[in-house]
Amino acid sequence: MINLGQKFPEFKKQATVSTAPGKEFKDITNNDHINKKRWMVMFWYPKDFTFVCPTEIIDFNDKFKEFDSRNCDVIGASTDTEFSHLGWMTSHPGLKDLHFPLLADTSKSLGEALGILEDGEKIAYRATFIVDPNGVVKWVCANDLSVGRNVDEVIRVLDALQSGKLTPCGWKKGEKTLN
């Protein structure tokens, strides 16, 4: 798996950004957040049309404004196609109005570069990356396929990283940091 302090791999991938006809797809790259001088959270999930995945995607969507207020872009990603993403977004009530793109890594090249594909089907583990505005990986977390992640913890870690200070265990924004 890619390590802390490394540059996030270069990519240009098709993503599903909307269910509106004619506005469904767009290319996104590793430079999009850098050009805007924003942080990026990219979270990977195994497959569309599954059970745990929508719970995570919906939670990221429900907390989208919290990420945006922290100058942070959110990208969901899997090895499914942009058409599968669109079908899932259209058919699942909780996914109809996502505020962030779902990246389609159909070639699995980005998943391989990140080192997050399981051995069998080569689907992605539940990996989450926080990347700074310079494209450097600052946090990595990976869960087994059956375990959903905690979006509040992603926000907490983002806050800690953005504070630029030493933060104790369980620290939350607004609390005292260490000297």
First to last CA, the chain: 32
Domains contained in the chain, number: 1
Q: What is the mean pLDDT of the chain?
A: 96
**If you average pLDDT over residues 140-167, what whole number do you get?**
97
Residue 85 pLDDT more than 90?
A: yes
Main-chain dihedrals φ then ψ at residue 93, nearest 5 degrees: -55, -35
**If you average pLDDT over residues 143-165, what whole number do you get?**
96
41 assigned to some structural domain: yes
CATH number (domain holding residue 110): 3.40.30.10
Main-chain dihedrals φ then ψ at residue 176, nearest 5 degrees: -65, 140
Tokens 């805007």: give the residue: 36
How many angstroms separate the CA atoms of 89 and 120, rounded?
Answer: 26
pLDDT tens sequence across 9-53: 999 999 999 989 999 999 999 999 999 999 999 999 999 999 999
pLDDT tens sequence across 48-70: 999 999 999 999 999 999 999 99
4 assigned to some structural domain: no
pLDDT band at 179 (very low <50, low <70, confident <90, very high): confident
Which range marks the domain in which residue 92 is found?
12-147
What's the pLDDT at 102? 98
Catalytic center residues:
53
104 assigned to some structural domain: yes
pLDDT band at 157 (very low <50, low <70, confident <90, very high): very high
pLDDT tens sequence across 90-122: 999 999 999 999 999 999 999 999 999 999 899
133 assigned to some structural domain: yes
> Burial, 131: exposed, middle or buried (Cβ in 10 Å; 0-12, 13-18, 19+)?
buried
**If DSSP states are collapsed to H, E and C, what string results for 9-62?**
CCCEEEEECCCCCCCCEEEEECCHHHHCCCEEEEEECCCCCCCHHHHHHHHHHH
Decide the pairing of beta strands 126-131 and 25-29: unpaired
How many angstroms separate the CA atoms of 77 and 142, rounded?
Answer: 14
What's the pLDDT at 106? 97
How many angstroms separate the CA atoms of 77 and 44, rounded?
Answer: 5
Residue 83 pLDDT more than 90?
A: yes
**What is the model's pTM?**
0.96
Decide the pairing of beta strands 102-104 and 72-78: parallel
